[in-house]
Structure 1
């Protein structure tokens, strides 16, 4: 445990940030998984709604610095590709 006052504060704030980041990243993964499962279940309307939510969370994660912008772009692209294939099928 640090002795210096600023170092003690740093430990506290970094722990708060870590917990918040973990929570947001978990919610992001859940949203992406929900969109993926909706596509697998061939439910077009649910998949569209889930894609919008996932896209929003991915964009937010990029602005917060949780994930790299190219990673978010890749995930959005892959989800949209799956949804388009499903829409053509139906």
Structure 2
């Protein structure tokens, strides 16, 4: 258990940040799922549109420190390659 005021504050702050970061990751996952479902349906134009909408959201996760830039680059590359394979 935290005894110092600083440690107590860190616990409060970490809980708040965990909620914010969890919401951010959940939002990113939703955008990625829209792209993946369009790819699974075989709809290239819908998948490309969904990817264009997901891109800023995904890279915002990098700038906020929620996701690593290489993880995002890998995911984006794989999605782009899957969309290109549809045509």
Q: TM-score, normalised by structure 1?
A: 0.86
- RMSD (Å) for aligned C-alpha atoms: 1.3
What whole-Å deviation, never above 9, does each CA across 1:6-34 have from its counterpart, x for those lacking one?
A: 22211111100011111111111121111
What is the CA–CA distance in structure 1 between the aligned matches of 2:71 and 2:4, rounded to whole Å? 38
Q: Which runs of 4+ in 1 moved over 3 A?
A: none
Aligned to 2:36: 36
Structure 2 unaligned residues grouped into runs of 5+: none
Aligned ranges for residues 6-85 of structure 1 at < 5 Å? 6-85=6-85
What is the CA–CA distance in structure 1 between the aligned matches of 2:28 and 2:70, rounded to whole Å? 15
Structure 1 unaligned residues grouped into runs of 5+: none
SS for the counterpart of 1:65 is coil
SS for the counterpart of 1:66 is coil
SS for the counterpart of 1:70 is helix
Q: TM-score, normalised by structure 2?
A: 0.89
What is the CA–CA distance in structure 1 between the aligned matches of 2:54 and 2:43, rounded to whole Å? 16
What is the CA–CA distance in structure 2 between the aligned matches of 1:74 and 1:55, rounded to whole Å? 13
